[in-house]
Structure formats: structure tokens, C-alpha cells
Amino acid sequence: MIKYKLGIYCLAILLLIASSAFSQNVEELEYPKLNKLEIPDVEKVSLSNGLRIYILEDHSLPLFNARLRINCGSYLEPADKSGLADICGVVMRTGGTSKYTGDEIDEILEGVGGSVETSIGRTSGSASVNVLSEYSELGIEVLAEILRRPVFDEDKIELAQVEQRSAISRRNDDPFGIARREYRKIIYGEESVYARHAEYATINAISRDDLVDFHGQYLYPENIQIAVWGDFEKKDIINLIKKYFGDWKRGDTRVPPLPPVEYDFVNRIHYIEKEDVNQSNILMGHIGGLRSDDDYADRIVMNSVLGGSFGSRLFNNVRSKEGLAYAAYGVYTANVEYPGIFYNYVATKSETTGKAINEVIEEIERMQTDPPTEEEMEVAKGGYLNSFVFNFDSKAEVIQRLMTYDFYGLPHDLLQREKERVERVSPQDVVDAAKANLHPEQMHILIVGKGDNFDISPAELNYGPVDTIDISIPSGEATAAIDISPEKVIKGKALLAEAVEAVGGEDALNKVESIRMKGTFKLITPQGEIPVPYERLYELPDRYSLKFNMMGQNVYDIFNRDKGWNTGPTGQVVEKTEEDIKQAREEIDRELLYILKQANNPDYTPVYDGERVIEGAKVEYVAIADKDGERICRLGFGSKTHLPVSNSYWGETPMGEGNVTDTYESYDEINGVKIAVAGATMLDGNKIAELQVSEVEINPAIPENAFSKPE
């Protein structure tokens, strides 16, 4: 107790002393001069095969680090296979090599507390190594294996595709994310390599061969720079890199340059309806510039004065003074390779959408007429100059920046020159930069929000034509055309014939005219599992009745050739729409029993579609194509049992639309026919349901009103 009171007493004295010190005028405080920046020297070495190495010894910690820049990116992938570069960058690491599987690499690195990662972005790829210095050779060896000899395991490809599909399904959840994505398309163009993004169809179209080809085209030594820093001797690390990379042969493909950006200055409003929000997310601006532009330093200060800091005009006037925005800022971005984007962001309540837009336009116009005050200049320049030292606060930043400058042929003292130019910027320079680079009368204004609640409709803003953007996510049905070559059709027919025999044979299947099943459909939700009893009666080829019992309430889905009924949102049974009828027919077309009975139907073509090993067992795939060559579904067959193990397709589920896979995990034999009685349903790779059949009856007596509207 005494110690406690003494501690409180001492703390009180310290607080009094501190408050006395801080009562002084802050402007009277004197600060020592900053130490001169000591930029470490980076040594450069090139191997005979063109691999460039940047070396920086750092014996402060027993660590070895490497970062690579790979001269390739998603701008090189075909538009109909968007996502290819990203998946290649992921599976190059996860998919294993000719020496190690991906899982073995994980175990090796976990054992030494290290990491090796790879990725491919829009304009470049990267790789990294982080290990203790005593494991430097191991890190370099694993890196070399991944870069030079990836095997692109099918399982890991599918996992990467699942992750991509999952991201696509969630991409409209965040209004600001929607705004950023769509604004890039507005500025650079819908089909521009700087704005396009993956869709279900483009992900579905990517094959292992595509990854192998992409890697083979762009991953070779003269296309790679490697920066290494840490606790090592230069000669030792060079020898290790030569050991694992020195015999890598040069490539024979020149990497195409980035395409130019074409842009016309126009004034236009773009509107995206988002019913489930009560505020608007707004982006306003146009094309930006390049870092090599003569007035880049002037734009740095201009950007800060307008919207780049807490003391900016947008922050002070639109957010604080007018109280119109939860967030308000502006950024004039610049890239080395292609022009950046000038944009101003405002998040405001729906009822002040128009007023916020007009206020931002006024602030942009004012930048061209009202020079920054002395205080604004001090804040804008100070923000840049006071943080300049942080460009050199780690060896990693220094060596990686030098590597990038080298690639683009930029001077190594680029940052220092930039700093000196910023120091010389005057208020008039800022006004001149705003006049030359800002176009408040020719901007694209994008609004994501609920239009019914706006104070001013987009058209009433009188800023230009209004373009309504549809952000609905296209289905994955438009997949790549199936390769219906004679060889693959022959193999596909053979596999399907083996499956027919495995389930009981053609004669037994032909005797099946109808089937009744009862069981439990267990929904798997974030809130937990929900068991749902169900009963299904299916009369081939085109009538079915499905009844669920959800919390004591019957839910129906009935299809009777050209009409049907289902339980609507209000709980009432309503007639199926044309779209519902279309979906019902699609469900029948991919019904497993129906496909097996149609094995010899000339309107359906089974096409061999590859194989993979799942949990130690080989699975062979057959794509089922209709008479137009369009994919209906993709069946997987166990290579030993020949029984169907999966059925994949694009479809609707209780948890939403997406890439669906039904798995068949066990069979019972009924009247000489094997019927799947247990399985699961996956949506975009995530399990959403489990199915357990308790009763099966083939060719049951069918009530007269079985496929009529329920009373």
C-alpha cells in the first residue's frame, strides 16, 4: 500500500513537471538539425545469362532477405483469361516444383522459420525470401526451384480459382471498392489492361497449360532482377546465386512494352445504384500524369494543398466547415510507366450528394485562382519534407528502390532531385500547376449510392450526360469453348460408358422411369448448420416435385414439363417465371441419372476434360456438351470404381449463384442400380450443404396430382 501511494505521488510530480514544460510556446522550442542522410552503397553484379543482382551487406541482424522484380504482368494475359497472371503468381509457389511439392515447401520453410512468396501484379511480378542468414542457401535453392521448375499442380490451380471466384462473388459488398474499380474503367477504358478484372468466365477458362505457357514465355533470367541484403559476405552470396541460377538459359521472347493510354477530356456523370446504403461514395476527376513530367514537384505541393492532408482545402472546407462529408480528400497520382489518375473522394449522406459535389468542384476551381497561403505552403511542403527521411529508414527500401530505378533507367538520385525541386516550389507554381493539370469543367463524376434519397438527381447537376453503370456480376456460363476433338470425344464416351456399367448397366438404367428420395439437406451457414428434411419425386425426363420442411413450413419447387410452381418470398406458392422454367430445364439437363440414361443421345457429347489426384485417388473428368457445343456440366469419375464422384456447373443454390459442385460420397444399390445416397454441395469452393438420403424407391406409384400446384 505504501509503495502504491508513493508511486502515485511520483507520477503526480512528473505530470506537473511535464505540464510546466509544455506550457512554453511551442514556436519557441529549438530543435537540433537533422543528421545528414547516409545512403548505403549498393553493389550491382550481372550474371552471363542476364540475371541482375543488387547486393547490400547488413550485419546488424542474422537475417537474409531477397526481393525480385519480374518483368511481366497481367497486361500480358489474354482478355478472355483475366486472372491468369495472378493465378500463375500464386500457384508458382503453392503448386510445388519438380523437386518439392507445395506442401513440402511449406514444411521446409516452417521448420526454419522462413518464407518464400511469389505474385504477379498488373505491370510486374515479384518474389521474396526471408530466412535466418544460416539458411541463406536453403532460401535461394527454394526460390530457384519455384521460379525455374514449377509444376502447377492441378489441385492448387483449382484452389486458386476458388479463391478468385470467392473474391468475385464479394466484390460488390463495399461501396468504395465498387467506386475504385469502376472509376479505373471510366478513366482507362472498359477493356484497358490497366482497368480490366477477372470474371467467373475468365477464371473458368484458365487451364494448367495456360499457366505453363505464361511462365515459359516470361520467366527467364534476363527478365529478372534480384535484390539481396542481410548478414552475408558478398562473394559468398554471389556464388550461391550462381550455383542455383547460373545455368538458367536465356529466354527467346521479348516482353512487349506497356500499351499507351488514350484519354479524351470530357464532362460526364456516372451513376451506380446501391439500394442498401444511406450515404454516397463519390469520385471526381480525370487522367493524372507521369513522374517524369516537368511540373511533378509542383503537383506534389498542389495535391497536398487541395486534398492530400488533414489541413487541405477539401478537408477544412467540405468536411469540417460545411460538414458535408464523413471523408473528403483528393489525390493526383503519377506513375513511372503510364499516367496515374486525378481523383477527389467524398463520402457523404445521400441527402447532401449534390451539394458535396458542387463544393468539391468549387475547391478545384479555386486552386486555379487562389494561391496557397503561407500557412498552406508550410503544411504542404512540411508534410513532404519532414517525412522524406522515411524513404531511407530501412535497407529494404533503399535497395528495392534502386532496383526499380535501374529497370526504368531513372537516375539513382531521383528522390534527392525531387526533394530539392519541392523546396523551391512557390505559391504561383502551385496555381500554374493547377491551371495546367486540373480540369474542373471536364471531369468524370462517379456516384455510388441510393438515388431516391439524393438532394439533386444526377441529371439536375447539369454537368454532362448521365451514364448508369450496371455492376451485376456476369455468370460463369460463358466459359471457354470445349475442345471437342475426335480423340477427346472418344475418350469421353469411353469414360461415360464405364460409368454407366458401374452404376448398373444400360438395361437397368433404362428400366428407371421415376425415383423417390427422402432425406436431410443440411444447410451450412455462418450462423451454424440447419437440418432440412426433404422429399423429392422425379419422373424422367421432365417432371419433378421437391418439398422441404423448414421450421414446420413446407417449401415447394415443382416442375411439370412447361410450367411449374415454387414457394415465393411471402410463403405463398406462385407460378414459376420464364426464368424459373429455364433454370428448371437446366437442372434436368445436368441431372446425373438423366445424363447416364442419355449416354448414347447424339444431342449430348461427352468430352474428356483432364484428370487430377484428390486425396490420393485419381479422378478423370468428362465435360458434357449440348448440340451447340456449350458446356452443360463437368462430371468427375473415380478411375478405379468408375462411379461418378462429382458434378460441376454454374447454378443457383440457397446460398446464391455461382460455381456449384455436387459431390457423391457413397452409393446404395436399388433394383440393380447404384444411387448416390450421401454427398455435399460446394459453392465457389465453400461447402454450403450436406445431403444424406434415408429412403430410395425406384418406379414408385405416383399420385395423380404429384406435379400439380400444391393446395
The predicted structure's pLDDT at residue 550: 79
**90: pLDDT confidence band, cut at 50, 70 and 90?**
very high
The predicted model gives 303-315 an average pLDDT of 90
Tally Cβ neighbours within 10 Å of residue 321.
11
Tally Cβ neighbours within 10 Å of residue 274.
21
The predicted structure's pLDDT at residue 38: 65
List Cα–Cα distances, 691 to 134, 432, 539, 567, 656, in angstroms.
52, 69, 20, 21, 18
C-alpha span between 423 and 425 (Å, rounded)? 6
CA angle 198-202-203, nearest 5°? 80
Is the pLDDT reported for residue 8 higher than 70?
Answer: no
The predicted structure's pLDDT at residue 22: 41
C-alpha span between 377 and 375 (Å, rounded)? 5
The predicted structure's pLDDT at residue 7: 45
Is the pLDDT reported for residue 578 higher than 60?
Answer: yes
The predicted model gives 485-496 an average pLDDT of 94
15 grid coordinates: 505530470
**121-125, 301-305, 498-502, 615-619: the lowest-pLDDT one:** 615-619
Q: Which residues are paired to 697 by β-bridges?
A: 516
C-alpha span between 670 and 332 (Å, rounded)? 70
The predicted structure's pLDDT at residue 10: 43
pLDDT in tens, 537-560: 999 999 999 998 877 788 999 999
pLDDT in tens, 223-255: 999 999 999 999 999 999 999 999 999 998 889
C-alpha span between 215 and 455 (Å, rounded)? 53
The predicted model gives 437-449 an average pLDDT of 97
The pTM score is 0.77
Classify residue 314 by its DSSP letter. I
The predicted model gives 385-403 an average pLDDT of 88
pLDDT in tens, 381-390: 988 898 888 8
Is the pLDDT reported for residue 354 higher than 50?
Answer: yes
C-alpha span between 290 and 122 (Å, rounded)? 17
**Residue in the block written with cell 477493356:** 191
C-alpha span between 271 and 344 (Å, rounded)? 16
Q: Are strands 125-132 and 115-120 parallel, antiparallel or unpaired?
A: antiparallel
Domains of the chain: 43-172+193-245 (3.30.830.10), 268-395+410-468 (3.30.830.10), 486-698 (2.50.20.10)
**Residue in the block written with cell 532482377:** 225
pLDDT in tens, 36-84: 556 778 999 999 999 999 999 999 999 999 999 999 999 999 999 999 9
pLDDT in tens, 195-204: 999 998 899 8
List Cα–Cα distances, 185 to 132, 284, 342, in angstroms.
43, 14, 14
Is the pLDDT reported for residue 596 higher than 60?
Answer: yes
Is the pLDDT reported for residue 289 higher than 60?
Answer: yes
The proportion of the chain whose per-residue pLDDT surpasses 70, expressed as a percent, equals 94
Classify residue 319 by its DSSP letter. I
Is the pLDDT reported for residue 15 higher than 80?
Answer: no
C-alpha span between 388 and 285 (Å, rounded)? 27
The predicted model gives 669-694 an average pLDDT of 91
Q: Are strands 466-468 and 289-290 parallel, antiparallel or unpaired?
A: unpaired
63 grid coordinates: 537475417
The predicted structure's pLDDT at residue 477: 53
CA angle 116-122-124, nearest 5°? 50
**18: pLDDT confidence band, cut at 50, 70 and 90?**
very low
C-alpha span between 333 and 341 (Å, rounded)? 5
Q: How distant is the alpha carbon of residue 159 from its chain centre?
A: 13
Mean of per-residue pLDDT scores for the chain: 90
Q: What is the largest CA-CA distance in the chain?
A: 99
The predicted model gives 511-519 an average pLDDT of 94
- Considering just the CA atoms, what is the radius of gyration of the chain in Å? 32
With the CA atoms of 575, 627, 205 and 98 taken in that order, what torsion angle do they form, in degrees rounded to the nearest 10?
130
**128-142, 251-265, 648-662: the lowest-pLDDT one:** 648-662
How many residues are recorded in the chain?
711
Highest averaged pLDDT of the listed ranges 315-324, 386-395, 610-619, 639-648: 639-648
C-alpha span between 32 and 332 (Å, rounded)? 34
C-alpha span between 319 and 299 (Å, rounded)? 22
